[in-house]
């Protein structure tokens, strides 16, 4: 029996180490029964030790990839990851402005876990002014939210008010990810959609390699939106999936990685 897979799209950078970026997004899309399409923005030379080089793809070629995809596939939902430069962001924003029916999740990738800068300083303004107004959701971690707000977030009690502040500033639903809070026993994220706050918590899993969790989370939200779930439901399902990928980790040489095809729990 033929299966109908909704079409998803990732606009992001390549991770040659396979744990994050487009590679993580495609694994997530496939695991969650969607057909993933891509537009590469950058190629990175990286492994779990860090990013050693970045090759920026021209904005015209990014636009050409997007045009080729949408010219053939009925894309239901999309996510952005590493966009790197203002010129690329402007090109991507123009595409989504022209295709408003595609549900857009923006993962504001700014700095890698290793400390490598993944967004140029002059691109932050373009991200906030050109792309965020077109999004259905933005998914900053604590460091990214601090950059977007201009103030530090370091306590659990700040999560809800800071998510509300981000909404007031950018006028789009915000999923503030609190997994990096110090000494946390729960990994708690907050969605504020302009009317209500939703909390999503899972036990904090110590000693796990979290490389690629942000990409995987936003890709999972995108996949569940493509399947027709509303925003709070899509985030809840994505949170559950992300927890499983960490819990059911796989060994990859000297370290472990997320398992994007985890064994289902009973």
Backbone dihedral angles phi then psi of residue 230, each to the nearest 5 degrees: -75, 175
- Expressed in percent and rounded to 5, the helix, strand and coil fractions of the chain are 40, 25, 35
> Per-residue pLDDT for the chain (266 aa), expressed as one digit of tens each?
567 899 999 999 999 999 999 999 999 999 999 999 999 999 999 988 888 999 999 999 999 999 999 999 999 999 999 999 999 999 999 999 999 999 999 999 987 666 667 888 889 999 999 999 999 999 999 989 998 999 998 889 999 999 999 999 999 999 999 887 877 789 999 999 999 999 999 998 888 888 899 999 999 999 999 999 999 999 999 999 999 999 999 999 888 999 999 987 54
Ranges of each domain in the chain: 7-257
* Assigned fold of 7-257: 3.40.1190
Active site residue ranges: 177, 210, 212-215
Q: What is the 3-state secondary structure (H, E, C) of 157-209?
A: HHHHHHHHHHHHHHCCCEEEECCCCCCCCEEEEEEECCCCEEEEEEECCCCCC
């Amino acid at each position: 029996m033929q299966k109908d897979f909704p079409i998803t799209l990732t606009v992001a950078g390549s991770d040659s180490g396979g744990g994050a970026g487009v590679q993580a997004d495609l694994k997530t899309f496939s695991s969650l029964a969607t057909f993933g399409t891509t537009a590469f923005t950058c190629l990175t030379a990286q492994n779990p030790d860090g990013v050693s080089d970045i090759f920026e793809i021209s904005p015209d070629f990014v636009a050409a990839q997007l045009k080729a995809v949408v010219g053939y596939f009925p894309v239901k939902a999309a996510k952005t990851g590493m966009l790197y430069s203002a010129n690329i962001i402007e090109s991507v924003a123009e595409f989504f402005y022209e295709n408003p029916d595609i549900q857009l999740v923006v993962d504001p990738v700014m700095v890698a876990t290793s400390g490598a800068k993944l967004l140029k300083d002059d691109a932050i303004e373009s991200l906030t002014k050109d792309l965020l107004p077109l999004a259905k959701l933005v998914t900053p971690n604590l460091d990214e939210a601090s950059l977007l707000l201009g103030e530090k977030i370091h306590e659990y009690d700040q999560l809800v008010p800071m998510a509300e502040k981000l909404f007031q500033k950018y006028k789009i639903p915000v999923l503030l990810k609190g997994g990096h809070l110090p000494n946390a026993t729960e990994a708690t994220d907050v969605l504020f959609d302009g009317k209500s706050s939703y909390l999503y918590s899972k036990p904090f899993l110590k000693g796990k390699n979290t490389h690629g969790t942000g990409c995987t989370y936003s890709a999972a939200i995108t996949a569940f939106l493509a399947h027709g779930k509303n925003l709070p439901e899509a985030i809840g399902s994505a949170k559950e999936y992300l927890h499983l990928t960490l819990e059911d980790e796989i060994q990859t040489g000297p370290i472990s990685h997320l398992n994007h095809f985890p064994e289902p729990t009973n």
